[in-house]
Structure 1
Amino acid sequence: MLVDAVVDFTADPLACEAAAVRAEAEGYDGVSIPETSHDPFVALTLAARATSRITLQSGIAVAFARNPMTTAMVANDVQLVSGGRFELGLGSQVRAHIERRFGMPWGRPAARMEEYVGTLRAIWERFATGGRLHVEGEFYRHTLMTEFFDPGPNPHGPPPVLLAAVGERMTEVAGRVADGILCHSLTTVRYLTEVTVPALAQGRGGSLDGFTVSLAVFAVLGDTPEQRAAAEAGVRRQIAFYASTPAYRPVLELHGWGELADRLNRLSRQQAWAEMATAVDDDVLDAFAVAGDAPAVAAQIRERFGGVAGRLSLNTPYAADHDQVLEVTALLR
């Protein structure tokens, strides 16, 4: 099982570079750099120059904030600079951010993403072969590539594409057009086995051989009751925050927690964050998180996800003990 480090969401590009160097030294298989307040491709480029072994992943870059040509070009360059160690993790984001923050069009995100990834591959094929670029789709049109602007073949080939997906339609798209899926932390074993895997198989036409399932797992990690209590509080808050988002409601609905999702959404609009955390009872916590000391956490992760997930990372939204996190990582690898 491969284990990745996840860079702090607030880290600037220089901090991401340092985190990647540290992750490589600590034995991680890869590092995931998110797109929040900084451009992930700048950080990934710095990390590529400062490391030599680990996989470097955008986790995630916002696809619909960029047109496919922009993404294809920068992804090709990061793949080149990293010596073929780059994975392009893409996600759709949500309507409000795409339309109001990025000023880009939104609509039919699953269909748009399917065309987006197909367009990326057509552009990379042009780079590799020099053939004609001709994409005239429902959402994207790319029909011009002259020699002056063509970077030519990448000696490492195009990067793998991994899609973030929760709903069945986007998950099926991931199975059909991507090389892997990035599952959200708000995922249970039941949702993974009853919804995610069947949708992927539908998209893939059956087998998931050669397809990467990557999952970030909530972990309530601690050696003492005091440590676990602090960890539990942080995980409850994060579960409540995610579960308040309508896009993730299907996960809760599967477990009969639709009313909880509605309540959390109402409380989030009131910014009642403390009340939201207390609404996450023990049954909900246990469904979304593993808990215990390092050996217990590692064992639970293997039991729950070992048969499906090929790559894992720990989601610890609290001040986790670094040595304990490394112990879990070592036990999983």
Structure 2
Amino acid sequence: MKLGYTTGYWSSGPPAGVVEAIAEADRLGFDSVWAAEAYGSDCLTPLAWWGASTSRVRLGTNIMQMSARTPTAAAMAALTLDHLSGGRFILGLGASGPQVVEGWYGQPYPRPLARTREYIDIVRAVLARSGPVQYDGDFHQLPHRGGTGLGKPLKSTVHPLRTDLPIYLAAEGPKNVALAAEIADGWLPLFFSPKADGFYRAALAEGFARPGARRTPDEFEVAATVPIVVDDDVERAADRIRPFVALYVGGMGARSTNFHRDVIARLGYERECDLITEAYLAGDKQAAVAAVPTALVQDIALIGPAAKIKDEMQRWRETVITSLLVSGSPRQLRQIAELVH
């Protein structure tokens, strides 16, 4: 199982110690480094800035929000960073949710799967550079319909370093996971649990079985964000993860539409999700955090003494995951690398 380092979201500014942690991840032989975006920092600038000081790790977006850029703009960024990194870039894409897409980017959200399919079609057409890009979809048209009528099909002036640059798709629901298996080179799950491995294997198998599926299961990458906290006190370790879970279950979506909550509820925590959501939306974040049970944390993370984590790693190795994306200080990354390998 490969290891990746995720820098996560920025809060009020750049995360502390990230430069040193990336350097250590590169030195330790980590496979990849990832940057995120929501409605603060973007994911491309930090990846280019920090990635310039690395030499081996692959550089991925987890995730680049599709509503933030047109498909051709995303393709331009991908081929640019792929050249600058010497062929180390991974384009991780995701649809996000309606609150961010419509509230921050001012773009419509309905039919995200169909939008995703069109988006990736156009990105691949730009990267293929087999001719001027033309597309007549329900959501994207090149050239633009109407307007001045002067738009013309264009081909990238830059020759892509890799026409098969890998595209990974963030997905949580079974239909979106199946879409990732059908049209992408990898899947970026959040809140993965070995308990749900069979559920996700079935969704992936559906996508792989579709006509024209891009990859076979053996060629497909699954890079999951998995918190790892080494601490002799399991409850203290769980306390490090509870705020993260409470935020996503209670605050990263509307009461009626929250895909992160749905993932946790499917693990058997429907009642707990209700308690977390009610407390969070009432403004009592402390109660929301307290409502996250330790059992839930242990389902989606590796926490506790080193020996416990090492024993539990076997269960994770037996899942569809090919890369664990972790975070932490340079010292913690060294410890995690020793436990995983």
- TM-score strictly above 0.5: yes
Aligned counterpart for 2:181 among listed residues 175, 196, 199? 175
Which one-letter code corresponds to 1:205 in the other structure? A
Contact 1:79 1:158 in 2 (8 A): no
Q: Which has the higher helix share?
A: 1
1:225-271 Cα deviation digits (max 9, x unpaired)? 3xx44322121222222233521233233333222222221211112
Contact 2:186 2:223 in 1 (8 A): yes
| 1:61 is the counterpart of 2:69 | no
Q: 1:301 to 1:217 in 2, by over 3 A?
A: farther
How far apart, CA to CA, are the structure 2 residues paired with 1:68 and 1:215? Answer: 24
How far apart, CA to CA, are the structure 1 residues paired with 2:46 and 2:302? Answer: 31
Q: 1:14 to 1:138 in 2, by over 3 A?
A: farther
What SS is found at the alignment partner of 1:209?
A: helix
How far off is 1:327 after superposition? 1.9
User: How many residue pairs align between the two structures?
Assistant: 319
1:264 is matched with which residue?
276
For structure 2, the 5+ residue unaligned runs are: 144-151, 211-215
How far apart, CA to CA, are the structure 1 residues paired with 2:133 and 2:297? Answer: 49
TM-score by length of 2: 0.85
1:139-185 Cα deviation digits (max 9, x unpaired)? 111244446xx22422333421111110112111111111000010x
Contact 1:182 1:215 in 2 (8 A): yes
Deviates more, 1:320-329 or 1:240-249: 320-329
How far off is 1:301 after superposition? 2.6
1:211 is matched with which residue?
220
Aligned counterpart for 2:87 among listed residues 80, 84, 90? 84
Q: 1:12 to 1:240 in 2, by over 3 A?
A: closer
What SS is found at the alignment partner of 1:172?
A: helix
Which one-letter code corresponds to 1:216 in the other structure? T
How far off is 1:277 after superposition? 1.9
How far off is 1:76 after superposition? 0.8
How far off is 1:289 after superposition? 2.5
What SS is found at the alignment partner of 2:163?
A: coil
1:187 is matched with which residue?
192
Q: 1:60 to 1:160 in 2, by over 3 A?
A: same
What SS is found at the alignment partner of 1:159?
A: coil
Q: 1:330 to 1:306 in 2, by over 3 A?
A: farther
How far apart, CA to CA, are the structure 2 residues paired with 1:324 and 1:83? Answer: 28
Q: 1:107 to 1:154 in 2, by over 3 A?
A: same
Q: 1:40 to 1:282 in 2, by over 3 A?
A: closer
Q: 1:54 to 1:216 in 2, by over 3 A?
A: same
TM-score by length of 1: 0.87
How far off is 1:46 after superposition? 2.1
Runs of 4 or more above 4 Å deviation: 13-19
Aligned counterpart for 1:291 among listed residues 303, 313, 327? 303
Give the % identical residues. Answer: 25
How far off is 1:6 after superposition? 1.2
If asked which structure has higher relative contact order (CA below 8 Å, sep 6+), I would say 2
Aligned counterpart for 1:160 among listed residues 147, 166, 174? 166
Contact 1:4 1:311 in 2 (8 A): yes
Contact 1:13 1:43 in 2 (8 A): no
How far off is 1:295 after superposition? 4.1
Contact 1:24 1:53 in 2 (8 A): yes
2:46 is matched with which residue?
43
Contact 1:17 1:46 in 2 (8 A): no
What SS is found at the alignment partner of 1:331?
A: helix
Q: 1:326 to 1:17 in 2, by over 3 A?
A: closer
Q: 1:13 to 1:216 in 2, by over 3 A?
A: closer
1:201 is matched with which residue?
205
What SS is found at the alignment partner of 2:9?
A: coil
For structure 1, the 5+ residue unaligned runs are: none
Q: 1:78 to 1:205 in 2, by over 3 A?
A: same
Which one-letter code corresponds to 2:30 in the other structure? Y
| 1:309 is the counterpart of 2:312 | no
Q: 1:44 to 1:270 in 2, by over 3 A?
A: same
Which one-letter code corresponds to 1:169 in the other structure? K
Aligned counterpart for 1:73 among listed residues 67, 76, 100? 76
Q: 1:18 to 1:105 in 2, by over 3 A?
A: farther
| 1:100 is the counterpart of 2:103 | yes
RMSD of aligned residue pairs (Cα, Å): 2.4
How far apart, CA to CA, are the structure 1 residues paired with 2:36 and 2:268? Answer: 31
Which one-letter code corresponds to 1:189 in the other structure? P
Which one-letter code corresponds to 1:278 in the other structure? A
